[in-house]
Every structure is written in C-alpha cells, then in structure tokens.
Amino acid sequence: MRTITTKRSQISLAIIAASAALFSSQGAVAQSDEDDNGMSSQPAIQAPVIEEVLTIGRLQSASDSIIDERIEQPFSADVLGFDQISRAGDADIASALGRVTGLTVVDDQYVYVRSLGERYSSVNLNGASVPSPELTRNVLPLDLFPSTIVKTLKVQKAFSPDLPATFGGGNVNIRTKGMPEDVVFDVSIGTGWNTVNNDDGIFYSGGDVDNGVPDQLSRAITLYQGNITTNEIAQTMVGQGQSVSPEVRAQAQQINRDLMLSLDRDVEITPQSLDPDYGGKLSLGNSWYVSDDWRIGALANLSYDHEWRNKNQSKKGIGNPEEVNSEVQRTSEETRTLAAVSGGVSFQEMHTIEASGFYITDVEDRASISSGFDANNRQSDGSQVLDYQTRYEERRLTIGQVTGDHNFEFDLTDAIDELGVDWYYSDSRAETAIPNEVNIKASNLIDTETGEVTNTRLQSTTNMASFGFLQLEDNVTSYGYDVELPINFGDTLLTLTGGYDYSDKTRAYYGYTAAINAPGISNDALEGTPGHVLGDENLGNLDYNFDLTMDPGLGKESYIAAQKTDAAYGMFDLNIDYTWRLTGGVRYEDFRQAVLPVDLLDYTGESIVDLNQDLEENPENYVVKDDGWYPSLALTFMNQGFMGADDFQVRASVAQTVVRPDLREVSDVQYLDPELDVRVVGNPNLQFSELDHFDLRTEWFYPGGDNFTVSLFYKDIVNPIEQARQPGSDDDILLTYYNAVSGEIYGLEFEGLKDIGAGFFVSGNLTLSDSEIVSPEGQGFTNTVRRMTGQSEYVMNAQLGFDSEDGMHTASLLYNVFGDRVYYAAVLDGHDDAYEQPYHSLDLVYTFYPTETLSMKFKLSNLLDQDREFEQVNSGGESVTILTQEQGTGIGLDFKYSF
C-alpha cells in the first residue's frame, strides 16, 4: 500500500517534541470487566438453581444457561449467549444487540443504549479497550464481528467502578470464545439476496489499496514544496520573483499535465448487474488433558462474507423541496474477512492463561451518481446538476490479547481461604486507507418537458475533479488487573475487590487532496462523461488549460493525537443471608489528551513555529487534562417465592460518571459519513459531560425459564454533547457537535419471556422514555429546549418462537420498532429539528435440524420493506422528507455442519 509520508525532518521532530512536552508525566487508561477472564470481580454468591425443562426448547434452554450470571450481577446488566444469538439468525454482534432491552442499532453498526448515542456507550473486547477502524466513529462498529466468535455479550446499564468512567448509557463487553471444553468443528456456507438489488447497480473498474498517491506526484510535492500548479512550478524553476519566459511556462505546463495524467482516472461509472451475497465460516478447536492437572486447548475461527448492495437515496432541500432535490444512485461492493486464533493452558482449573489474536478486514468499493436540481440548476431551465463519486476504503483491525485467571486457596483464617486475581494485556491497531476517492462535478442538459438527458458535460470550475488520499492509524495498548478477596462470616459474605487499568492511544490522520481546475475551459473540452473528459487524449491536450493543484480539500486536514489514562478502583460487595446486598466503590481516573494539527504542505516550518507559540500561550486549545473520582453504590433486596417466583430481586443504584468527546469530535476535520452520505466536522471547543445516574430494577425468575423485569432509570447530564446542522446551502448537509447547557433522560423498561405451551413461547421488551436538552441561547437554535439527539420515546422488541418437541424444527418471528428520534438540531432559517422516522422491522427465521450434525437456516429480514426516512418541518410549516434511503427485504440461506 502506498502511504502518505512527510519528508521534512525538522517538522516531524517539532511535532514529536511538542507531543512529548504534552505528556511529560506518566499516565494511562484501560478497562476491565467483572468476569471476562473467567473470574468474577463480584462475590461468588451461589445463585439458586433454576431447573431446566428440556422440552422447553433450544432458545429457552439457552436463556436458562445465562440466568444465573444475570442474577449474580450487583448492577443492572443484560447478557446474551451464543445460542440465543444463533437462534435469532443474527449474523453479527450489532444485529444481536438490537434485541436487548433499551438498545437500538444505528446504521446497522452502532448501539444506542437507552437512546443515548454511541459517544455515551463504550465497547470492550474481553474487557480491553480497542480502537475503531471507522473514520466516522470512535466506538467499534459491531457489525465487523461475526456472531460465531461470541461466547456472550454483556450489556451493563448501571455504572460500577470496575468499568471505564466514560459511561453514559452503558457498556458492551464482547466476550469471545476461548479454549474449548471439547472438540469443535463447525463449517457453514451461505448465500443471500436483497430486493434493492433487483435493479442493476452502477460501478467502475474498481479501486485498489495500492493506488494511493502516485509516485510521480509524491516526488513533485516534495520537489515543488506542495506548489504544483503550472504557475507555481514555473516560478520555482526560475526563482521566486523572477519573470517567466514562454518556454519555461510550456515546460511547467507539461510537468503539471504529466502529474495530472499520473492520477488514477479510471472512474467511468457504468451499469452492472449484481451477484448474490455469499460467505462461509469455519471453527476448529479442541482441548487435551496432558495430565490430571494440566489441560491445553486451542480454537480457530475463519469467516468470509461478500456482498453487493444498492443504497439509493432521495434527497430534498428543506427550504424549497420542489426546486431543490436529487436522486442518488449508489452501489457498493463489500468484502469482510476475519481470522481469530486463541489458545490456552489451565492448571487444576484454578489457573488459566489464554492468548488470542484477531485480524479483521473490511474492504468497501463504492460508486455513486447524484443528479438533481438546486437554486442555479432548475428543471424549468433545462439544467441538472450532476455529481460523480468513486471511493475505495480498506479498514483493518489487528488485536493481540493475553489474559490470566488465577484462584488461590489457603487456610489463613476460617473467614479468609481464597484469593482471585485476573489480569489482561491488549495491543491493537486500527488502520483505514482511502487510496483514491474521486469527486467530479458535472451537469446535464435535459428536455424541459420529458426530463430526458440531451447532453452531459463536466463543469468549468475550480475543483472540477478532486482526488483524495487518506490514511488513519490508531494504536491502543491497554493492560490491567483485578484482585478479589472474599471474606466469609457465615451467613454474611464480604468481597473486597480492587484493580488498576491503563490505556495509551495514539492516532495519525493524514490526507492529501489533488484537484483538477477547469475555469474558463471551452465546452468542447468538457463534453461527455468522466471517462472521456479525463481520458489521456482529452486531458493530455495542452490546448485545454486544465491545471492541477494541491488543495486542502473538504475533510482532508491532517492531525496527530494521543490519549493516556490511568485508572484505579476499589469496591466492596456485602451479601447478608442472600437477602440484602450492598455493593459500592469508587474509581479514580487521570485523563490526558492532545490533538495537534499537521500541515503536510508546509515546507517552511511556519506552521510548527506558530503551533509551538500557540501551545505556550493557549495550551487549552490543544491539551486536555482531567482527573476525578467516580463513585457508585447499589442496594439489592432478594427473596425466593415472592409472587410465585423462584427468585425475586429489586435493585437500586446511583453513580456519577463522565463522557469525554472523542478525537474525531474535537479535531477540526471534516469527514464523510458513508452510510448517509453527509459531511461532519469536529469542534475543538467541546467540553466534557458530567452525568448523575439513578436506576431501579425489579426482576422475577420463574420455573422453566419464564422471567419478567421492570426497570426505572433517570440520568442528569451537564454539558451534554449534541449534533447540529451548520448553516449552509439548502442541499448540502454539514453536521457538527456542540455542548448543550443541560440535559436529562428518564424512562421505564419492561422485559419478559413466557412459555405458552405446545412448543410456543413469547418474549419481548419495551422501553418508554423521554428527555430534554437545553441549548445555549443566542446561537440560532430553532428550539433551545427539545429532546436529545437519537432519543426515541419508545423502543420495542417482540418475538414469537416455536421449538418442536423432537428438536428438529425451530422458528422465530421477530419484530423491532423505535420511535422517531432527533437526527440533528436545526440552526437558523426558522426550520424545525430533523427527525429520523420510526422504523418497523419484521424478520422470520426458520432452522431445520435433520441430524445432530446438520442444520439449515432460512431467514427473511425487513419483511415490511421499510425504508429509512428523515423528516423536517421547514419555516413555512411544510413537512419535508429530506432523506430517504432504500433498505430492501433480505433473504438468506445457510447450511451448517457441526461435529
């Protein structure tokens, strides 16, 4: 892969020196989870055994297997096991989490817990912090992880001190399969189709990660110090301030044109029929007893998925939707691979050490054509604006982890006879490369009566065609440990827990944009599609005054950044006669962050001098230092037999936490949200959000796996981080972030599972909530008081399941819906806030088990064929559907062999 490099050693050294100065003191952060490594950091309370009724079926039996863990949690948490995920037909973690109470999934990748956005949630892998390969998000995109590698998914909705203090809605911990108990051999293949692919898509010859910045252009950037226009090259050749002869100018023009021709311009977009989805998965593992005391084991998982998808959109301008609108035809090809290997050794089942490695790639190649009308191009005038885009993006995530779980037994006193120690070390790297993103401006002449296109030409303007090159690299090292000491006083059990976590994250974000300018060029040179106009013959014609320049580019600013956090915590868990349980503690975190801009085209060093001066005078513009104490307390009452339940418990908890803006949100960089095709820019002035949490949860667990849960929650937020649209053109959405003055969210959750006989059962959950955000006065917000961004007043999941008595058939009808939610806050022009409309999802999954080793799964998704829609009421009171994105109905068929 061709990479973006800087060859100016003095600038690099200055940046390194500035970074070192910012972090001269020792620091760090990491995260731990209470039983990710096989040992709970909570008291080992013996939960009552819930009898498993074998005739209930596969899903309810799977649910029973994790009920004990849920009962033992001192703080509100939900747990999903692999069998539950598989039963619902969820191919990845994101889909599975969408069925958890109070959770909604955005863009099929990110989880909102209790309607709080992804910045209010954290995701850990086996208790460790890992970076995200997504340019647009700090949190891991959960669709990257296939469900086949999952042991359990734990969603903790109430803060405990052993979790990161950056806790808003909840924490998701992905616990992957480790050393198996026995032989594992699973192989599956599958195929699928989506109705959005019934029509042909569009595509181009395809990008490649090796394209990148052409060598010729890279050398010229250095030689001419970033000044590569014809005039700048000529001036460099003769010396600054010297007159330029026609001969020198001709030479400079030829050099500039050769640089232009070195770009990858094979971007002609043509219709293409789309193939079905296909993929396969393989799991292979075993464990062996090498003696009575020692056991070793290993497990490998491989996964491959490939899909084509049309992602067409309709857009309308909020101010004048009849005149400003567009249709976007988008087609993407996406390939995902995963290789995961784990191995471990166990001594007397008391000491276990495991090592895991993950390598995940996600490659997306995309083409789009947007055609529509704006204030300067109206259908009545026979003029249509046209935008072409091709984009190749490769994301890679590499993770190495080592964990240890140790239980020591000794005869110190009657009350103290054991000690538990967990530890982990994780080193991970996320890389994103966009070696060539091409955006081309064009226009159509159309028949005013029929709308038929009569002529296409590229626009005679600056930045007629832009070529973007971008690379991001995040490195995260985290480690930590937990120590647990149970003290048994007969009917009373006191467990003391303490631990330390460290995390060190660095980021390098580099980008170039080269632009072909074409102002004043004749229509003859611009006639036709990009394949013709940018072809060698036309573009190489020196009679046409095309000119290549290095442009800062929309969203191509560069920066480096670093985060360090040290964290330590202490907890106690007091259980009195399995009736009352008091759990509390505090976490201390020392957090430091720096974000430094980098000008890749500054060869004078002036930007570094200015940066160092500003660092001395205004360090708060670049550096954030914060430390704090974050307490938590929970009280639980437990009873057996209340209202006929095997187990009943009611739990109240309070906590204080913080939410810090992530690096992308505080960097002054614009980037593209590829899912909805809108631009987003960071805000360096964002402040931390402080949260107070109050939770009350009541749970009933009945014989046979039936259960019912009711929860209340309230969160008070100071300086909540919200998303707003920046003032701009009617058809060009640019979003940013800001701090509101205050916010609150409160709600009620219901969850239950009930066997209704004859092999049928129903399960579901419902969340009812409301929120309020108070935005600053005098900043142009249409509504200074409104609901929080992303908050839905209701979220519901329902499932009707069937398990045949002979175990050969299972079926599930699954329904999910969320209420409308604020997409962004409106600023100026008198328009109302934009809302994403309710989305009703209905899926059907059927699995046939002809033998103990073979299974066939058939899935229909989005049976209602719902589209994603975003609406906004304009200043005239008209409700406008500003964005519609096709989703389609999916069909999937999988075959699996298990030994």
Which is more confident, 604 or 688? 688
Shared domain for 886 and 754, answered yes or no, is yes
Could you say which DSSP state residue 666 is in? H
> What is the band of 45 on the pLDDT scale with cuts at 50, 70, 90?
very low
Please write the tens of the pLDDT for every residue from 853-862.
Answer: 999 999 999 9
Give the contacts of 760 (CB within 8 A, at least 6 positions apart). 800, 801, 802
Among the candidates 262, 295, 321, a domain finishes at 262
Could you say which DSSP state residue 621 is in? G
> What is the band of 13 on the pLDDT scale with cuts at 50, 70, 90?
very low
Model pLDDT, residue 724: 86
Q: Does 739 score more than 90 pLDDT?
A: yes
Q: Which of 55-59, 435-439, 588-592 has the lowest mean pLDDT?
A: 55-59
Q: Are 567 and 160 in contact (CB under 8 A)?
A: no
Q: What is the mean pLDDT of the chain?
A: 86
**Residue 295, in any domain of the structure:** yes
Give the contacts of 56 (CB within 8 A, at least 6 positions apart). 64, 704, 705, 755, 761, 803
Please write the tens of the pLDDT for every residue from 749-787.
Answer: 999 888 898 889 998 889 999 999 999 988 888 899 999
Q: Does 535 score more than 60 pLDDT?
A: yes
Q: Which of 44-58, 585-599, 613-627, 706-720 has the lowest mean pLDDT?
A: 44-58
Shared domain for 733 and 873, answered yes or no, is yes
For residue 202, what is the domain's CATH number? 2.40.170.20
Domain range enclosing 415: 9-211+266-898
Q: Does 408 score more than 60 pLDDT?
A: yes
Shared domain for 246 and 324, answered yes or no, is no
Q: What is the mean pLDDT of residues 145-170?
A: 89
- Residue in the structure block whose two tokens are 């360096």: 684
> What is the band of 440 on the pLDDT scale with cuts at 50, 70, 90?
very high
**Residue 30, in any domain of the structure:** yes
Q: Which of 27-36, 344-353, 670-679, 694-703 has the lowest mean pLDDT?
A: 27-36
> What is the band of 728 on the pLDDT scale with cuts at 50, 70, 90?
low
- Rounded Cα–Cα distance for residues 490 and 898 (Å): 46
Among the candidates 198, 233, 262, a domain finishes at 262
Q: Does 588 score more than 90 pLDDT?
A: yes
**Residue 4, in any domain of the structure:** no
Shared domain for 660 and 532, answered yes or no, is yes
Shared domain for 197 and 289, answered yes or no, is yes
Shared domain for 373 and 298, answered yes or no, is yes
Model pLDDT, residue 730: 56
Give the contacts of 371 (CB within 8 A, at least 6 positions apart). 326, 327, 384, 385, 386, 387, 444
**Residue 2, in any domain of the structure:** no
> What is the band of 9 on the pLDDT scale with cuts at 50, 70, 90?
very low
Q: Which of 90-104, 185-199, 261-275, 734-748 has the lowest mean pLDDT?
A: 90-104
Shared domain for 181 and 228, answered yes or no, is no
Shared domain for 482 and 431, answered yes or no, is yes
> What is the band of 10 on the pLDDT scale with cuts at 50, 70, 90?
very low
Q: Are strands 794-803 and 821-824 parallel, antiparallel or unpaired?
A: unpaired
Among the candidates 262, 294, 328, a domain finishes at 262
- Enter the pTM of the model: 0.86
Query: What's the number of CA atoms in the CB half-sphere (13 Å) around residue 1?
Result: 20
Angle between helices 9-22 and 606-617 (to 10 degrees): 10
> What is the band of 641 on the pLDDT scale with cuts at 50, 70, 90?
confident
- Rounded Cα–Cα distance for residues 684 and 623 (Å): 10
**Residue 472, in any domain of the structure:** yes
**Residue 45, in any domain of the structure:** yes
Question: What domain count does the chain have?
Answer: 2
Shared domain for 166 and 27, answered yes or no, is yes
Q: Does 62 score more than 80 pLDDT?
A: no
Q: Does 531 score more than 90 pLDDT?
A: yes
Q: Does 174 score more than 70 pLDDT?
A: yes
**Residue 777, in any domain of the structure:** yes
**Rg of the chain on CA atoms, in Å:** 29
Q: Does 304 score more than 70 pLDDT?
A: yes
Please write the tens of the pLDDT for every residue from 811-844.
Answer: 999 998 999 999 888 886 789 999 999 999 999 9
Q: What is the mean pLDDT of residues 45-59?
A: 35
Shared domain for 233 and 301, answered yes or no, is no
**Residue 136, in any domain of the structure:** yes
DSSP state string for 824-869: EB-BSTTPPPEEEPPEEEEEEEEEE-SSSSEEEEEEEE-TT-PPEE
- From start to end of 224-272, where are the E strands? 270-272
Shared domain for 162 and 251, answered yes or no, is no
Shared domain for 41 and 63, answered yes or no, is yes
